[in-house]
Chain A
Amino acid sequence: MNRNLQPGIHPDADKLSVFVEGAATAREQERMLAHLAECTECRKAVFLMQPHEEVERVMATPLKGWVWRRLVPIGLPAAAIACGLIAVFIYFRPHGAAPPNPQQIASVRQPDIEHPATTIAPNTNSDRVTQSGGPQSSFAPGAAATDASRQQSRVAGRLNLPASKKRDQATAGIVPRTTGAAPSAPVTTTDGALAQNTISSTTVSELPLNGRNVANLQQLGTADTKGAASQNSLAMKKDLPALQIQRARGQGGTLAEVSGRITDRTGAVISGATVTLRDAAGTTRETTTGVDGRFHITELPAGQYELMATARGFKTSNQSVELKPSELAMLQPKLDMGAASEQVAVEASAAQEVQTESANVSQVDAGRVITEMPGADRVTTVPSGLPVAATVSHGKRFLSLDSAGNLFLSRNEGKKWKKVKPQWVGKAVRVELTPAYSSQAPPKAKNETAAAANEGAVFQLTTDTSAVWSSKDGAHWHQQ
């Protein structure tokens, strides 16, 4: 067949393909062109060899471009208007919708009025409990309910939530009683102590929500005395975590968020506490509370989570959280002083959250709690790639010191790091956060507003020559 093409004269398929693919040398190209100029067959073959689809594509493209060009006069203003609308929408929406943010929620949680400034022996505690337990003699679920609604309205008032919202919460059966019980703590101590009395005297089943919790605790019956146990229950009454699951209106997607504040029994915030969220599959998300004790974990798929809060010198607190799509769960786990090894895990109840407490109350060193940052435990990566020696945070500002003594500052909660230019001589060996007020200041004052604590905090840096430098923003340092 191919003898028709006169192999001696016509280039063979190999030569043709080399020519068409541009792999031919200049001389071959020249010879091929010379042949093609005179040979109709080979010319035909060369043109036949060109793949088809490219033609279609090339022909389609200018047409498309032409259509687009026609749309430009309409499209450009339309795009500009759309951008404007989006900008306006973004600007106004937060003001109008007032989505609950952690700060507002946190402000609801008032600290305990009575803060044990010194070590309180279990006995003393129990005494106090019985003393304060006097005025009110009955605690029934109904009473708790009214309490709850009262407290809810308080919460709602602070949150600027509409009444219907609050009703939703109550009727949705999320944690009406818990919510009610928790805010009851700040009202009066007697209230709390009273409730405690009732708890210990009434049957567990009467407590609609935390019955199992209490039962567990009672079963646990650690080395605590009865007084301590009651103090624990009191604490539970007072400190029941407020798990408020609210619609995060800002989120259109299916991801939920958890935010909250970690405090100790006295209500003093715990900074640097590690908060771990473990989902059913065992995947964990970890974060560390800031100087105000707050944490915030975003972009969580809906589902059941186990929340674990640990801090140095405190017991680990476990808590189950069920997150629904687009929900923002506000938690306020409280930690107890004690060995970190003591863990009390409590199953989640139908009401979706349970607070676990143990009954080890002792003095809370507020100053220490505030300044102690377990930086080594933090999962932080700094641009140097070296292990992080210490991390302190102040609001959204994170300051990390790596093992080489480089200091990194992040203004957005560790998302983006920037190296701080050393203004000091020598190597930075320690970085810490010092509250502006002394540690002797009553924790109550400190907890009045978290913002106050924020404003007062100062970063401190110690160099290897023992010079102490301080900075308010983490970027500008001056020697003390």
Chain B
Amino acid sequence: MDIPPANITQSQSSGAADRTAPVAMEIELGPESRRLPEMLGEELWRASGAELVEVSKAEFGGALETIGARENFGLDPEKQANERQRETFWRALHLEELAIARGCALGRESAWRRFLAQYQEPLNRAAVEMTGSAALGEELASALYSELFGLTEREGQRWSPLLRYSGRGSLMGWLRAILAQRRVNQYRKIGRETALGEIEPAAAVSEQPELERLEDLRVAIKLTLSKASAEERFLLSAYYLDQHTLHEMSRVLRVHEATVSRKLKRATERLRKHLLRTLRARGLSRRGAEEALGTDPRDVDVNLRKLLQKSEGDTIPDKEDQV
């Protein structure tokens, strides 16, 4: 991660070129453009307090460059960031937390001390919240600690997931995310056996004579869903599949509950219309199509759940197979 001296001089000269001819710089593409100007690097390094967590200027600058390259400075992949955009990106990072994360990943003692002082308690609390039990929570948190501490090895080197923290979000948010992922993994591992038992009675109830119609629906719904926006699909699956409340969804999307409700209603209506049209196009009478969907809105819900589940059952393994 250390920058060779030659590179530094290069970046200096390119920085000087920037000041004299910024237009030329914007045109210039390639890895050079990802370099962190030394003055900015120095400033950010100071602002981050990386010194306190034993992260050198070169290490921190290297981290910033890596992150900038990885995230393409927060721009869409096909775009090339100009100097100003790069600077804005770097400045907007959670520098202090990034420094702590880097320090920890590099195994610096003071960084760990700060990390534990700041995050141990909230992390344990979050783990307990997620698992709903103190014992499970502690287990989850301690497993995460050992992982963060770099007990896992990759290609012969200690590797800490903290290296993946970009500083774009807060470190606490990142920790919650990784904790949630570990929890989901855990759940999936244990849940393979138990969760099936939970699902099966519901599936048994849904066994109804109109299965062949549902089969029709399944195809139709796949078509329709592919046309819906990502947000609508997310809302539909979160609501009908996971049975999250509107409130929970509103928090994830950071919009008001009423907005979620409205969007969901609109998505459901559009889906229904679409389905009717598709079903009729596939040769069903209008009445038949309506019957298939259910005239009672609640029926629609139930059916949608079943349908989404079915369609999902198709998509996810597909993705997994691709790997």
Contact B161 A2 (CB under 8 A): yes
In the complex, what's the smallest C-beta–C-beta distance from A251 to chain B, in angstroms? 48
Bound Cα distance from A6 to B183, whole angstroms: 15
State how many angstroms separate the Cβ of B260 from the closest Cβ of chain A.
13
Interface size class of A (residues with CB under 8 A): 35 or more
**Contact assessment for B185 and A1 in the assembled complex, using a CB-CB cutoff below 8 Å:** yes
Task: Find residues 141-176 in chain B having any chain A CB closer than 8 Å to their own CB.
Answer: 143, 147, 161, 164-166, 168-170, 173-174, 176
Main SS class of interface, A? helix
- Please report A residues at the B interface, Cβ cutoff 8 Å: 1-2, 4-6, 8-10, 12-14, 16-18, 20-23, 25, 27, 30-31, 33-34, 36-52, 54-55, 58
In the bound complex, do residue A21 and residue B234 qualify as a contact, i.e. CB atoms below 8 Å apart?
Answer: no
B312 and A25 form a contact (CB under 8 A): no
What chain A residues lie within 8 Å of B118 (beta carbons)? Answer: none
Known contacts A23-B168, A30-B230, A40-B241; is-contact A50 B248 (Cβ 8 Å): yes
Complex interface: chain A residues within 8 A of B184 (CB)? 5, 41-42, 44-45, 48
9 more contacts with CB within 8 A, not counting A18-B173, A25-B75, A44-B180, are: A8-B323, A14-B169, A18-B169, A20-B173, A27-B76, A37-B234, A41-B185, A45-B181, A47-B242
Closest to A46 in B: B252
CB distance from B251 to the nearest CB of A (A): 5
Known: A6-B323, A9-B319, A22-B254. A37 touches B233 (CB 8 A): yes
B244 within 8 Å of A (CB atoms) = yes
The docked-state distance in angstroms from the alpha carbon of A37 to that of B189 is 22
Contacting residue for A33 out of B166, B230, B320, CB 8 A: B230
A/B interface sample: 29 pairs, CB < 8 A: A1-B182, A2-B178, A4-B189, A9-B320, A9-B322, A10-B181, A13-B161, A13-B178, A13-B181, A14-B169, A17-B173, A17-B177, A21-B170, A22-B254, A25-B74, A34-B230, A37-B237, A38-B316, A39-B319, A40-B237, A43-B234, A43-B238, A44-B180, A44-B184, A45-B180, A46-B252, A48-B130, A51-B129, A52-B129
Q: Is B185's CB under 8 angstroms from A4's CB?
A: yes
| B88 at interface by CB-CB < 8 Å | no
The complex places the Cα of A4 from the Cα of B238 at a distance, in Å, of 22
- Is the CB–CB distance between A2 and B182 below 8 Å? yes
Contact A25 B164 (CB under 8 A): no
B231 x A33 contact (CB < 8 A): yes
| A23 neighbours in B (Cβ, 8 Å) | 168-169
Kindly state whether residue B206 has any CB partner on chain A within 8 Å: no
Q: Which residues of A contact B237 (CB under 8 A)?
A: 36-38, 40, 43
Partner of A44, one of B129, B173, B242: B242
B110 CB to nearest chain A CB (Å): 24
Q: Which residues of chain B are within 8 angstroms of A21 by Cβ–Cβ distance?
A: 169-170, 173
Is B181 a contact partner of A5 (Cβ separation < 8 A)?
yes
Residues on A with C-beta less than 8 A from B165 are: 13-14
Number of B interface residues, CB 8 Å?
Answer: 52
Partner of B177, one of A6, A13, A39: A13
- Residue B266 lies at the interface, judged by CB distance under 8 Å to chain A: no
A9-B322, A55-B247 given as contacts; is B312 within 8 A of A46 (CB)?
no
Complexed CA–CA distance, A30 and B233 (Å): 11
List residues 17-64 of chain B with CB under 8 A from any CB of chain A: none
Q: Is B270 an interface residue (CB 8 A)?
A: no
Cβ of A9: which chain B residues have Cβ within 8 Å of it? 319-320, 322-323
Q: Pick the residue among A16, A52, A58 that contacts B180 (CB under 8 A).
A: A16
Tell yes or no: B113 within 8 A of A by CB. no
Q: Are A38 and B312 in contact (CB under 8 A)?
A: yes
B222 to chain A: closest CB distance in Å?
A: 11
Give the distance to chain B from A114, nearest Cβ to Cβ, in Å.
81
A5 contacts which chain B residues (CB < 8 A)? 181, 184-185
Q: Which of B130, B169, B170 has the most CB of A within 10 A?
A: B169
Contact with A along B64-98 (1 / 0, CB 8 A): 00000000001110000000000000000000000
> CA–CA, A45 to B312, complex, Å?
17
Do residues A14 and B252 form an inter-chain contact, with CB atoms below 8 A? no
B187–A44 touching, CB < 8 Å = yes
B252 adjacent to A2 (CB under 8 Å): no
The 6 closest A-B pairs by CB, nearest first: A37-B233, A34-B230, A17-B173, A13-B178, A33-B230, A48-B180
Instruction: Provide the residues of chain B in CB contact with A55, threshold 8 Å.
Output: 247-248
* B-side contacts of A45, CB under 8 Å: 177, 180-181, 183-184
B242: which A residues are within 8 A, CB to CB? 40, 43-44, 47
- Chain B: minimal CB distance from A305 (Å): 49
Is B238 within 8 A of A16, CB to CB? Answer: no
Q: Cβ of A6: which chain B residues have Cβ within 8 Å of it? A: 319-320, 323
Shortest CB-to-CB span from B151 to chain A, Å, is 11
Mask of B215-238 contacts with A, CB within 8 angstroms, 1/0: 000000000000000110110111
How many Å lie between the Cα of A12 and that of B234 in the bound state? 18
A17 and B241 contacting across the interface, CB-CB below 8 Å: no
* Docked CA distance A368–B245 (Å): 84
**Complex CA distance for A38 and B235, rounded to whole angstroms:** 11
With a cutoff of 8 Å between Cβ atoms, the chain B residues found around residue A14 in the complex are 164-166, 168-169, 174, 177
Q: Please report the C-alpha to C-alpha distance between residue A51 and residue B230 in the assembled complex, in whole angstroms.
A: 24
Q: Is the CB of A18 within 8 A of B185?
A: no
Give the CA-CA distance A18 to B166 in the complex, in Å: 9
| B-side contacts of A22, CB under 8 Å | 254
B282 within 8 A of A: no
Instruction: For B176, list chain A residues within 8 Å (CB).
Output: 17, 20, 49, 51
Report the minimum CB–CB distance from B242 to chain A (whole Å).
6
> Could you tell me the distance between the alpha carbons of A6 and B323 in the complex, rounded to whole angstroms?
8
Query: CB distance B75 to A20 under 8 Å?
Result: no
